């Protein structure tokens, strides 16, 4: 019969083994709690999307150098990956990446995109069209908020510039987190939401 101390040690060991067996999903910084996300969402201006006139990805300069020779993409690859090795140019040459959008794991950086949680075009039509280039560059390379995440490339491409009313991650178990990230970014940058987008976010937060 196990003593309490021995049983506790066995349980701790089993939890540790289980944790190691689970994929280490990407965890961008600044993801709010459900309650905070709901409060922030309630504080966003609701209005129809603005015009895409004048939009260009070039108006959101990315990727920029973050440290040494490492740009934003390479920085996120190292942050979100496991066992990432790089060459002298900071390009990822080894490692693995778990994509929480679809539950896939990749061993080649070329199979991974860095998703802008709130796409650049979605930001443009909800307020960023009036920003300075400096602010748009900050938004496109933001490592301080949950705006950038490493995910499967074709999943990111299927998302395009769609908002949550038109696209959600294939892995429904990630909808809560995705809605919290999206809301925090829009709140941080005082971007608006349209009514369908807000409804979709509320529905996703109901899964938390």
- Residue 97, token pair as written in the block: 């990446």
Which residues 6+ apart lie within 8 Å of 15 measured at CB?
none
- Residue 58, token pair as written in the block: 């070039």
Measured from the Cβ of residue 120, the count of other Cβ atoms closer than 10 Å reads 18
Distances (CA, A) of 184 to 25, 118, 188: 19, 10, 6
- What tens digit of pLDDT does each residue of 136-150 get? 999 999 999 999 999
Distance separating alpha carbons of residues 165 and 190, to the nearest angstrom: 19
Phi, psi of 57 (to 5 degrees): -60, -25
Q: What is the pTM of this model?
A: 0.87
- What tens digit of pLDDT does each residue of 127-186 get? 999 999 999 999 999 999 999 999 999 999 999 999 999 999 999 999 999 999 999 999
Cis check for the bond before 130: say yes or no (omega within 30 of 0). Answer: no
């Amino acid at each position: 019969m196990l003593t309490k101390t021995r049983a506790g040690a066995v349980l701790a060991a089993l939890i540790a083994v289980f944790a190691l067996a689970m994929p280490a999903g990407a965890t961008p910084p600044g993801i709010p709690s459900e309650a905070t996300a709901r409060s922030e969402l309630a504080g966003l201006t609701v209005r129809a999307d603005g015009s895409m006139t004048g939009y260009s990805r070039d108006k959101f300069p990315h990727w920029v150098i973050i440290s040494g020779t490492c740009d934003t993409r390479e920085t996120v690859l190292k942050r979100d990956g496991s066992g990432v090795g790089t060459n002298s140019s900071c390009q990822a040459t080894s490692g693995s990446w778990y994509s929480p959008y679809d539950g896939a794991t990749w061993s080649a950086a070329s199979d991974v995109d860095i998703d802008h949680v709130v796409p650049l075009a979605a930001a443009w039509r909800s307020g960023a069209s009036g920003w300075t280039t400096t602010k748009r560059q900050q938004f496109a390379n933001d490592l301080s908020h949950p705006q950038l995440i490493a995910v499967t490339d074709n999943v990111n491409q299927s998302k395009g510039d769609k908002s949550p009313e038109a696209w959600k991650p294939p892995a429904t178990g990630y909808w809560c987190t995705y809605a919290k990230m999206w809301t925090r970014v829009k709140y941080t940058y005082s971007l608006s939401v349209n009514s369908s987008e807000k409804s979709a976010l509320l529905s996703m937060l109901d899964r938390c």
